[in-house]
Amino acid sequence: MSWFSEVQQGPPIEVFQLTKQFGEDDFPQKVNLGVGAYRTEEGKPWVLPVVRTAEKALANDDSLNKEYFPVLGMDLFASSATKMLLGEDSPALAENRAFGVQTLSGTGSLRVAAEFLARQVGSTVFYQSKPTWENHRLVFLNAGFKEGREYRYWDANKRGLDIEGFLEDLRNAPEGAVIILHAVAHNPTGCDPTQEQWQQIAKVIKEKKLFPLFDSAYQGFASGDLDKDAWAIRYFVSQGFELVCTQSFAKNFGLYNERIGNLAVVTNNTACIPAVKSQLTLIIRGMYSNPPSHGARIVSYVLNNKELYEQWRDHIRVMSSRIIEMRKRLREELEKLNTPGDWSHITQQIGMFSYTGLNQEQSMHMVKQHHVYMLKSGRISMCGITPNNVGYVAKSICETLTTLPSKY
């Protein structure tokens, strides 16, 4: 007899399963376009030089110890992260209406935010874009939401945003529904609303009394400019919205496995902040008690050192320009080969991912036949493309669409 014999096998996590399969594959030209993690021109992971500098300084600082952090984490980290998000001159910061809480990367931030909204604000329904990052649903349902719905987002025919469908679905949402918005560099489509479209979205959210939750995993990483990538959130704040924003430092600092994030809260009522913080404290205390220090100390060290901050801004420009360059190269190569279809969306999209338009069968063919690892949805991580493999990736896409054209 075993207490565990009734446990059912769960489905694998596609993105991590691909990484494992890629590692086990001995085909010399294999390419990993699955997981969203930056790679250098040589296809290698990159520890940012400012991170190395900060780590050396921290290792040599004998005043630091391994005592517990407060439940809400490191104050200086959270306030610096919130300032980076909202901008130095943010009215919400000047009026003390915004604060941050250190979390376990973007996912941990989403989990804490969702549990807080479900328990303390009474939210029961959330809306996610169709499609979205595959973890949103699991995190929100685990956190206590009763129902997850989708708003239309991607128009497969035009390979762009379905703004009319998006707005219509928001108009039909029940009051108080939490709307998960991707702050910038939409995952998986790489397709963002324009500023005018964000204004339309904000208008409906206000009229229908919905609650905006921004997921910000790519600030600075998308365009190379921290302010530009925070435009949508800052616009909502300027329109008087209360909101929460879940920030990740995985991509823009390359701190994937340090699990460092921030939950930024903007309210219109400063008097409620102590109560909100006390409830966030209880949620975190009951979940993991308090956060680890390493990532928070690194980010805080860099954001509060003028010289390192400038260097870091250079690093994010290096990463974003490499991706933009690879988008151009991939499109050129595909067009040179007369690959069936229109490839303009590859350069129009922004950020780490591109939604290629390949269907499930074609995407699986890319993996099996060509050893080019990508998600079944047709999403590729642009970071995995390098000057050395771009030709091979393009040829593989071309062959796939020629062999399996009918469903394209």
Q: Which active-site residues does the annotation give?
A: 133, 215, 251
Say whether residue 36 binds ligand LMR (CB under 6 A).
Answer: yes
Hey, which residues between 63 and 82 contact ligand LMR (CB under 6 A)? none
By rule CB under 6 A, what count of residues binds ligand LMR?
6
Nearer to ligand LMR, 13 or 275 (CB): 13
Single-letter code of the amino acid located at 52: R
Which residue's CB comes closest to ligand LMR?
36
Q: Which of 18, 31, 33, 35 binds ligand LMR (CB under 6 A)?
A: 35
Q: Which of 15, 117, 245, 346 binds ligand LMR (CB under 6 A)?
A: 15
Q: Decide if 262 contacts 81 (C-beta within 8 A).
A: yes
The nearest distance, CB 216 to ligand LMR, in angstroms, is 13
Hey, which residues between 126 and 165 contact ligand LMR (CB under 6 A)? 133, 135
- Identify whether 188 is preceded by a cis peptide bond (ω within 30 of 0): yes
What one-character-per-residue DSSP string does 202-263 give? HHHHHHTT-EEEEEES-TTTTTS-HHHHTHHHHHHHHTT--EEEEEE-TTTS--GGG-EEEE
CB contact set of 372 (below 8 Å; sequence gap of 6+): 30, 31, 33, 366, 392, 393, 396
Radius of gyration of the chain (CA): 22
The nearest distance, CB 15 to ligand LMR, in angstroms, is 5
Dihedral (Cα; 112, 115, 121, 124), 10-degree rounding = 140
Single-letter code of the amino acid located at 351: G
The nearest distance, CB 267 to ligand LMR, in angstroms, is 28
Nearer to ligand LMR, 10 or 286 (CB): 10
Say whether residue 383 binds ligand LMR (CB under 6 A).
Answer: no
Give the rounded distance of the alpha carbon of 387 from its chain centre. Answer: 25
Say whether residue 187 binds ligand LMR (CB under 6 A).
Answer: yes
The nearest distance, CB 384 to ligand LMR, in angstroms, is 11
Nearer to ligand LMR, 86 or 191 (CB): 191
Instruction: Name the residues that contact ligand LMR, by CB under 6 A.
Output: 15, 35-36, 133, 135, 187
